[in-house]
Structure 1
Amino acid sequence: MATLGVIADDLTGATDIAITLTTAGFRTTVVLGDEGTVGTIPVPDGTDAVVVALKSRTVPVDEAVKVSLDALAALRRAGCERFYVKYCSTFDSTPRGNIGPVCEAVLDALDEPLTVVAPAFPANGRTVYRGHLFVGDDPLDESPMRHHPLTPMTDSSLPRLLAPQVSGGSDEVALVPWPVVDRGVDAVRTALEQARAAGARFVVVDALNEADLDTLARASEHLSVLTGGSALAAGLRGPRTSGPRAISLPDGPRVVLSGSASRATQGQVRHALAHGDGHRLLPSELRADFDGEVSRIVGRALEGGSAPFVVYATAAPEHVVDTADAPLMEEALALVAKRLVGAGVRSLLVAGGETSGAVVRSLGVGPLALGPEVDPGVAWMLAERGDDVLHLMLKSGNFGAEDLFVRAWKAGR
């Protein structure tokens, strides 16, 4: 029976933390939240942790809270006793949420007084110092996240970002600064208890490296609810020593479906195009002949060989489309995936959280199991589809080295 339940605000975030939990000794399963209604979660025998992948990062606050509470209830029915609210390591949110309202709703539902706020992911350059979130060498508000089309991040201070999102405002938000973290587990545990006694419910904790996150994980073992990016989960201790499942990628076209507009993914697209071929999606062409355009893309992709074929929305900043066209692009990429699988393709690399969710839902796959990690937070996954198995890599837009789209296909060969 699973004992740890995770509520993730998108699919690539769910796979990201599933990788971490698997490495930490948890046999982990990823399941999709079904359009906001999670009933009975299909939990394979021997599962230690269940990650529910929602699509709640940018939906209205009330909807995000509802689907998160639905997921929480389903996880409790599945036997989970400890919970983790997973959000992006760049704390993607609007002034109203959805991070604060969801975390507060989970605490209230469980009648828990306190949780930690820990988005740091040092392996990918996300660190927290004096409560300020950094992306590489830049404060969050000076990074490319400042210009995100849906959740522009114009402040690097996590306490300032979080305070307007929770009912008690700044009175409920505390900070454990790095000098305290550096003193070790007992110092952090004492700081957490002091914050609780002072009325805080949300404690931002600095972290500059993995050792800091391990300290925090040990200091917060008594908490029933954790919140953060995926890296904090590396400090949890699962019951097993086995890691991800070995895979052998099937032969066939190497197709990448990219709906992400992040700079990291744009660089990956350009690198892959220099080593293979591809097709850029244009909203105007999709509106003019949607089915015909999808058919042309599928035909070209099926002709591919050992080089990647990339179906992409953007490869440069000037390619970024109006956000109103995003659903059209996701629909097209999802249909391309469905037709490719129908034609026999059994491995796909998908870039972007919204795109990954659209593709996986169109394929109608069951629970996802972890394969080998290729880059921090990026791994191949095994997806059940009836009696068939698909190999999927579902990549967050900001993750992965520049050569990922070329190198990924070598991981399982």
Structure 2
Amino acid sequence: MALLFGALADDLTGGMELAAMLVAQGVRCGFVTHPSALDALPRDIEAAVIAGKTRVVPAHEAVQAFAEGARALQARGVRQLFFKYCATFDSTDAGNIGPCADVLREMTGARFTAFCPSFPEAGRRVFQGHLFADDMLISESPKRFDPLTPMLDPNLVRTLQRQTATRVGLLPQQVVHAGVQAMRTHVAQLQAAGVGFAIADAAEPDDLAALAALTWDWPLMTGNSSIGAYYPAHWRRNGWLAQAPADQALPPVAGPAVVLAGSCAGRSIEQLRAFALHRPVLWLDMVRALEGADVVGEALAWALPLLEAGPVAIATSADAAEVERVQARAGKLGAAALAEEVLGRLALRLRDAGVRRFVISGGETSGAVLRHLDVNRLVVGAYEGPGVARAVTDDAREARLALCLKSGKLGPADMLLPMLQSMAHGG
């Protein structure tokens, strides 16, 4: 059967969150990390998410990956393509949000689409085109210190316009509040003025519901995962989706458990400190790794004797001063690549040593870990809250793994240990 919805996500954690939101609404949703893995998914799924590691790669590589993913989804007859990016609009003036949206617009023939990064549940809101993190403009929040995609301009119309030749406009909150017909009129006016992209204001869940009512049947839509949760109700009303929700409970997975954290977000460090109140945490020194120390072997030797007593955490996460120290030696991209390589290699050795449950903190880290584990498809469980989505592997060749791929910026402070414990019970 043809897919109702096909999403291309620019990182693993966000892609899993979107899939989990659809699963929670009773949608049979497949999740893969490469377009080639789509063929291994059941033919009766209604949605699919392809989540790649494209957020901070060179723009031409991201565009190529998105084009390949779009072709694969179009081959499955997809009704709507969706570009999923972070609620903090993680990008730079070189991309990759603008260039990837451009190629999808060309491939779908869409004259117009909207950008809806808002995630009110996580405190990310857009008002008059400006992005807020809780009560602060994004440019005044800790996001301004992001080592790879710092947000220094809160005006998303300006931010996106620097990334694309397509003219960018605004779908303001007063129009969103006026209803679907008012929004359609505004969109027609923007199109008449030569605008092809528009930032959509959304400060509350009702705004997301209104925007979903406008966009659920568009050939192309972009945004954070949050708006995706509102689409299944429209599919059901129009007879595209079965009324009875699909049951997609995850099986329990026993065995040793580990947290691997690469995110340097303040919330990630807070979560690791909360974990450390109960179980050991090893903070890896990336300068030593740069100097040739076998930090992977050292971490493995530290972890294995402790796992009999319970989970452990191993982190390359660090505060801003430590990140700057490593970047001074390796550069921004080099420092990030080193941390991802270390945790990816460590994940493989831990898996081979019998670890079966993982929480991976950070979108780029998650991509590196799945690549090293040679995992290209997952069965995703129902959404549990911002940054809290989990999955199991589905490969008869290997023992089943339970995975939580989480955004470094999201999730409760005390989530790490309870998440690992819950994987043993399924759900």
TM-score interval, normalised by the smaller of the two chains:
over 0.9
Secondary structure of the structure 2 residue equivalent to 1:182:
helix
Note if 1:21 corresponds to 2:22.
Answer: yes
Gaps of 5+ in 1: none
Counterpart CA distance in 2 for 1:25 and 1:255 is: 30
How do 1:166-205 and structure 2 match up within 5 A? 166-168=164-166, 172-205=167-200
Residues 385 and 281 of structure 1, relative CA distance in 2, 3 Å threshold: farther
The structural deviation recorded for 1:315 is 4.7
Contact 1:86–1:229 under 8 Å retained in 2: yes
Alignment of 1:296-311 (within 5 A): 296-302=298-304, 303-305=306-308, 307-311=310-314
Q: Which residue does the alignment assign to 2:238? A: none
Residue from 331, 340, 343 that aligns with 1:330: 340
Cα displacement string for residues 87-134 of structure 1 (whole angstroms, at most 9, x for unaligned residues): 111001111211111111111122110101100011111001111010
Provide the C-alpha distance between the structure 1 equivalents of 2:309 and 2:202, rounded to a whole number of angstroms: 41
Amino acid at match of 2:422: A
Give the TM-score taking structure 2 as reference length. 0.89
> Could you say which residue in structure 1 is the equivalent of 2:389?
379
Identity score, percent: 36
Give the corresponding residue for 2:66. Answer: 68
Distance 2:290 2:181 in 1: 60
- Does structure 1 conserve the Cα–Cα contact (< 8 Å) formed by 2:23 and 2:381? no
Aligned residues of 1:254 and 1:305 also touching (Cα < 8 A): no
Using the TM superposition, give the Cα deviation of residue 61 of structure 1 relative to its aligned residue in structure 2, in angstroms: 1.6
For each residue in 1:291-322, what CA deviation from the matched residue of structure 2 results, as whole angstroms up to 9, or x when unmatched?
Answer: x5323322332322565311001254333232
Matched letter for residue 32 of structure 2: V
2:413 aligned residue = 402
| C-alpha distance in 2 between matches for 1:317 and 1:167 | 34
CA offset at residue 266 of structure 1? 1.0
Distance 1:305-1:404 versus aligned 2 partners, 3 A rule: farther
AA of the residue aligned to 1:401: P
Residues in 2 aligned to 1:211 and 1:306: alpha-carbon distance in whole angstroms: 46
Q: Which residue is 1:97 aligned to?
A: 95
RMSD: 2.0
Determine the structure 1 residue equivalent to 2:365.
355
| Superposition deviation, residue 288 in structure 1 | 5.2
Which amino acid in 1 is paired with 2:415? L
Aligned-pair distance for 1:57? 1.0
- The letter for the 2-side match of 1:188 is M
Counterpart for residue 9 of structure 2: 8
1:295 is the counterpart of 2:297:
yes
Q: Does 1:256 align with 2:262?
A: no
Q: Distance in 2 between matches of 1:234 and 1:410?
A: 27
- Asked if the contact 1:181–1:216 (Cα under 8 Å) also holds between the matched residues in 2, the reply is yes
Q: Greater shift after overlay, 130-139 or 235-244?
A: 235-244
Could you tell me whether the CA contact under 8 Å between 2:380 and 2:392 is conserved in 1? Answer: yes
**Where do 5+ consecutive residues of structure 2 fail to align?**
236-240
Q: 1:202 to 1:59 in 2, by over 3 A?
A: same
User: How many residues are matched?
Assistant: 406
Q: Please state which structure has a larger fraction of its residues in strand.
A: 1
Moved more, 174-183 or 244-253: 244-253
Structural mapping, 1:180-259, within 5 Å:
180-237=175-232, 238=235, 239-240=241-242, 241-242=244-245, 245-259=248-262
Q: Counterparts of 1:42-191 in structure 2 under 5 Å? A: 42-168=40-166, 172-191=167-186
109 and 248 in structure 1: CA distance in 2 versus 1, 3 angstrom threshold: closer
Between stretches 52-61 and 366-375, larger displacement belongs to 366-375
Determine the C-alpha separation between the residues in 2 that align with 1:401 and 1:249.
22
Moved more, 2-11 or 347-356: 2-11
Provide the secondary structure at the position in 1 that maps to 2:139.
helix
Determine whether 1:270 maps to 2:284: no
